[in-house]
Amino acid sequence: MSLHLITYERLLNALTKAFQDKNLEPSKAASTAKILLEGELLGHTTHGLALVKPYLEELEKGMMETSGDPEIINSTETTQTWDGRYLPGPWLTELAIERASTMAKNQGIGTIVIQKSHHIACLAAFLEAVTKNNLMCILACSDPRNKTVSPFGGKTPVYSPNPLALGIPTMSEPILIDVSMSTTANAVVNRAVKNGQSLGGDWLLTAEGKTTSDPNAFFADPPASLLPFGGMDLGYKGFALGIMIEAMTNALGGHGRSSEPNRWGASVFVQVIDPIRFAGKSYFLQEMEEFKNACLRSAAINPEHPVRMPGAMGLAKKKKQLEEGLYIDSELFECLFK
């Protein structure tokens, strides 16, 4: 399949137009295009431009709402709970971060939990913008319809990969963390099947309780499930963290697995913290900078692969692609430019 090199601005404009052509309101189309591109720039390709076609299909089927605002179900000075009404997840999450940031600047902390959001794309894509304001951001989500991860010790899938992300400002480059509470993401398995590749390890558990690196087992009858983060040895830790995300998203949001949803969506937890209201911005930035530098000075096991902080590789990829452009495949090129 041939590839096409496209500048960031041209691609952003084409994506925004494609979403608007499916009747998505301009602000929502722009936000969705920006976040998908940001995920791609950072190297999260399974949650970047790969989502363009599925999102357009959801709009065509009426499964992603195109207009309106979330409903505020509950509100205090530092918290809100929203019904997202299956509006675009990237737009809802950006809006929640904006409002939580205002709360944090006024009160020190702001937390917004969203039920019935549509899919929110790559969590890491939201973080750098927050850290540029010297704020810390915690972001988590769960898909209450999805059951692809088995609890530790079990072989029947119960919950979704449940990613957790943190954006932490420092005196220099921010630390950007984005990790799933499962061995891998559903999209990674889907891509491996599409490309005829094996997974990077025995990340799946068959219905018979055997581990495997064969992604096709995910589509067997009955299907394999994802192991919790930590695998067969330490998966009890990933299971515990998966439970934490379920509580932060579905339970706090008021719409989860017991509600038996039938649409692709997300329960979302957004929290923004302003260090000024705690020990102070200067100490926070200095402490995290010194901690980061201590990690980077740690003697490398392999000198050719020194310690790197979470997000550093993604930020380097972003810089390079903003300068040189992004490669897209012929299918997406035809969709956007023909």
Domains, the chain, in order of start with CATH, read 184-226 (3.30.60)
Residues 6+ apart with CB under 8 A from 113: 79, 80, 81, 82, 248, 249, 252, 253, 267, 268, 269, 270
The whole-number average pLDDT for the span 203-226 is: 96
pLDDT of residue 52: 97
Task: Report cis status (omega within 30 of 0) of the bond before 222.
Answer: yes
Three-class DSSP category at 280: coil
| Residue range 143-167, pLDDT digits in tens | 999 999 999 999 999 999 999 999 9
Three-class DSSP category at 277: helix
Cα distances (Å, whole numbers) of residue 332 to 1, 32, 54: 11, 16, 12
Torsion sign (Cα): 259, 63, 90, 181: positive
pLDDT of residue 1: 65
pLDDT of residue 174: 98
Using only the alpha carbons of the chain, give its radius of gyration. 20
Structure tokens at 314: 């993604």
Cα distances (Å, whole numbers) of residue 316 to 288, 295, 301, 302, 313: 20, 18, 23, 21, 5
65: amino acid identity, one letter: E
Mean per-residue pLDDT of the chain? 97
CA angle 74, 67, 84 (to 5 degrees): 30
pLDDT of residue 338: 80
Provide the strand spans (E) within 7-135.
Answer: 71-75, 79-83, 109-117
Three-class DSSP category at 77: coil
Q: Is the pTM of this model over 0.95?
A: yes
Residues 6+ apart with CB under 8 A from 331: 1, 53
| Residue range 265-322, pLDDT digits in tens | 999 999 999 999 999 999 999 999 999 999 999 999 999 999 999 999 999 999 999 9
- 338 or 57: whose pLDDT is higher? 57
The whole-number average pLDDT for the span 74-93 is: 98
Note the maximum CA span of the chain.
Answer: 56
Three-class DSSP category at 195: helix
End-to-end CA distance of the chain: 17
Helix H or strand E encompassing 124: none
Distance CA 67, CA 22 (A): 11
86: amino acid identity, one letter: Y
Looking at the chain, the whole-number percentage of residues with pLDDT higher than 90 is: 99
Distance CA 265, CA 247 (A): 17
The yes-or-no verdict on residue 192 having pLDDT over 90 is yes
Distance CA 311, CA 39 (A): 12
The conformation of residue 227, written as its DSSP 8-state character, comes to: P
| Residue range 14-64, pLDDT digits in tens | 999 999 999 999 999 999 999 999 999 999 999 999 999 999 999 999 999
